[in-house]
A and B are shown apart, each in its own frame.
Chain A
Amino acid sequence: MRKTIAIVFAVLVLLPVVVAAVTVTTPQGAQEVFARGDLLDALAVLRLAGVDVQFAAAAGSYNASAGEHQVQFTPGGSLAVVDGRLTRLPGPLRQLEGHIVCAPATAAVLLAPFGWTLNGSGASLELAHASAGEQIEVSVVRAPTGTTVVVRGTKQRPQVVATRGVVALQFVTPVTLAKPVVPEAELLGGDLRGTTLTLRLAPGAEVANTYPLDDPPRFVVRLGTAAPAAALAAPRAGPLVVLDPGHGGGDQGAKGPGSELEKDITLAVARATAAQLQAAGVNARLTRDGDDTVSLTDRTALANRMQATVFVSIHANASLARGAHGAETYYMSADASDAQAAQSAARENASASPDTVQLILWDLAHVANLNNSARVARSIQERLNALQGIKDRGIRQAPFVVLTGATMPAALVEVGFLSNANEAARLALPDTQQQIAAALAAAIVDYLHEPTPTPTTPAGTPTP
């Protein structure tokens, strides 16, 4: 009896010390991989899958690549960049006895972009080619508050690209449709091409918001109804200016030392500017005409739907440089990333199979809009410089969210600094607001009347 107890004791004590590897079954056969407890050698598993893994000393991170796919991760971290997108890993990667180790679940996430799965547990794991990917199912839930499209069967959070009538969900890893998308309510149908699920929406339907849910994992696309385009873009005589009073509702924006609120000042200036424009015979509309919360994208979307001639977003500034003062006017920056975004938007806008000529025409329209945005911005800044006695302040470019989706010349004006006590007190005065409004209205009228060789977008070509 004592002998049996002693043998069992020896086996139980020595086994965890001796077992330092896990068997990974691959299509080529079984392979031993370094392991400690629940952790296994991540680099070895990636290499078993034919993934090239290099340590980039300059970047301090590992670079795993195969074909078009690339994953970067850092020992000690729980984040990875998977094909250019930030991904949170299920657990951290650690350095242990000269190996980079992680839990199998983390290794599975690293392997997924390369088309591999890692299943099993304990001392035996199976590395296999991913089948066609996760099986997803699309269904529609109708409620009095609106229609919701639910994509079940995936934990992925796809990138959402919504354009008029179409919403594209771009998944990171392959997915398959368990069954065809059945048209219902505002969902007219859907197709899966590669890792992109394209959903077609009924006229007037648009994406209100999207979010993932757990238990069971699913991705939700909530639809809203756009205001009828015909009503918004009713035939009108002359140009339409959409003025956007910055912030509003729960978002008060910047706050001055005397409790002056940006959202109040921008609304007052926008209302006064609209009145001045109307008096000058120019149609003007506001993105909000009260203390309302309006998202940045909805502001631009409204101007787009109304087919506005010009879009001007009005703000009041703040800076930790307490001496900062005066107005500043910005328009959209046109750096490489914006050009890429523009091209990508063009592809989405164009059709499922982008046409080169259409893309070139779209690009021309984009450049024309950018040039005209600069003209609007310059016109505004010159008028405000004259009003405020500033001689040397020019216009600037920056990637403002509220200007990103505008399909017409657009600018963002900061009428002054609320962080500057003197300027904040002046900006809160109705007289100052009227003066600024007069300058803005005059600048917009200048722009509208200034003759320019504006290239027009050919019929059938999406505007940027």
Chain B
Amino acid sequence: MKALRPIAATLVVLGILAAVVVLSRHHRASAPAPAPEGATPAPTPVPASLVLFFPGDDTMLHREMREVPELPAGTPARIKLVVEELVAGSRRGFAPALPWPATVQTVFLDREGDAWVDLSPPPAGAVSGTGGELALAYATVNSVVANCPAVRRVQLLFGGQQVATLGHIDLSRPLAPNPELVAP
């Protein structure tokens, strides 16, 4: 019987540890997670609007205002929202800019203001011609820069890969907004 005492003691210690872990997790779940160093508290959500760009029959990009329930404070969340609204399409009858259900997989923002936006890749044949590529690239770049003050240029990635081109446009480098393609 004496020999079983260490086992009993072990089980008691394990029980205490388990209780500590459970209580600690419960505490963490109920309390807000500590913000990483440098983070700012989230602002109260207020209705806001986004500026989006969609291609028209005149082959130019057209501005479209889009009311959203709230404008996320962080750049990554705001870029995701912009892409979601571009994918949702124009409400004024313009053509699709991102003609597939693109999702933002990763976003980085570097010191120079270049946002690295990793989109799920377009299916084969979804983007065709210079018009299709320019619409994809610059509707996204112009929309992201217009809504994210911290972003100066956008480096598009597809499926976690840097893509040299989809056929015509050089996508190997970050793109700045192209005002020449925007309808007056």
Contact = CB atoms under 8 A, between A and B. Distances in A.
Interface of A: 2-3, 6-7, 9-10, 13-14, 17, 54-61, 63, 70, 72, 74, 77-79, 81, 84, 86, 88, 98, 251, 253-255, 262, 296, 315-326, 328, 330, 333, 335-337, 341, 396-402, 404, 412, 414, 417-419
Contacts of B174: 337
A88 B157 CA distance: 12
A36 B109 CA distance: 29
Contact of B7 (A9, A55, A70): A9
A10 B7 contact: yes
Given A74-B108, A400-B170, A59 B10 contact: no
A2 B34 CA distance: 47
Contacts of A315: 129-130, 168
Nearest first, the 5 A-B pairs at minimum CB distance are: A318-B129, A323-B57, A319-B131, A59-B109, A321-B95
Contact of B37 (A54, A337, A400): A54
Contacts of A57: 35-36, 38-40, 74
A306 B19 CA distance: 79
B107 interface: yes
B49 interface: no
Interface in B134-166: 134-135, 150, 153, 157, 160-162, 164-165
Nearest to B161: A86
B14 A13 contact: yes
Contacts of B4: 2, 6
Given A9-B7, A56-B38, A324-B59, A398 B77 contact: no
Given A57-B36, A81-B108, A396-B180, A321 B129 contact: no
B29 interface: no
User: Most A CB atoms within 10 A — which of B5, B169, B170?
Assistant: B170
B105 to A, nearest CB: 8
A71 B128 CA distance: 35
B169 A399 contact: yes
Given A57-B38, A57-B74, A72-B109, 17 more contacts: A2-B4, A6-B10, A9-B6, A17-B17, A57-B40, A60-B76, A74-B107, A74-B108, A81-B116, A255-B128, A316-B129, A330-B130, A337-B174, A396-B180, A398-B169, A399-B175, A401-B170
A253 B3 CA distance: 81
Interface in B1-34: 3-7, 9-10, 13-14, 17, 34
Contact of A10 (B3, B10, B55, B110): B10
Contact of A319 (B55, B76, B167, B170): B55
Contacts of B5: 6
Interface of B: 3-7, 9-10, 13-14, 17, 34-40, 55-59, 74-77, 94-96, 99, 106-111, 116, 118, 128-132, 134-135, 150, 153, 157, 160-162, 164-165, 167-170, 173-176, 178, 180-181
Contacts of A255: 128
A81 B104 CA distance: 16
Contact of A341 (B74, B76, B150, B173): B173
19 contacts: A3-B3, A9-B6, A55-B38, A57-B35, A57-B36, A57-B39, A59-B109, A61-B107, A72-B108, A315-B129, A318-B128, A322-B95, A323-B57, A324-B59, A326-B59, A336-B176, A337-B153, A401-B168, A412-B130
A55 B36 contact: yes
A254 B40 contact: no
Contacts of B34: 98
Most A CB contacts (10 A, CB to CB) among B3, B96, B131 go to B131
Decide if the interface of chain A is mainly helix, strand, loop or mixed.
mixed
B11 to A, nearest CB: 9
B64 to A, nearest CB: 14
A179 B160 CA distance: 36
A63 B108 CA distance: 10
Contacts of B14: 13-14, 17
Contacts of B39: 55, 57
B26 to A, nearest CB: 14
Nearest to B181: A396
A212 to B, nearest CB: 14
Contacts of A397: 178, 180
Given A9-B10, A77-B106, A319-B55, A60 B77 contact: yes
B99 A401 contact: no
A9 B57 CA distance: 75
B157 A333 contact: no
Contacts of B178: 333, 397-398
A296 B165 contact: yes
A400 B59 contact: no
B102 to A, nearest CB: 14
A399 B170 contact: yes
A79 B75 contact: no
Contacts of B165: 296, 401
A253 B127 CA distance: 11
A14 B162 CA distance: 46
A401 B164 CA distance: 8
Nearest to B78: A58
B181 A60 contact: no
B36 to A, nearest CB: 4
Contact of B95 (A56, A320, A335): A320
Given A60-B76, A398-B134, A13 B129 contact: no
B113 to A, nearest CB: 10
B170 A414 contact: no
Given A6-B4, A54-B37, A321 B55 contact: yes
Given A9-B10, A398-B178, A404-B170, A317 B77 contact: no
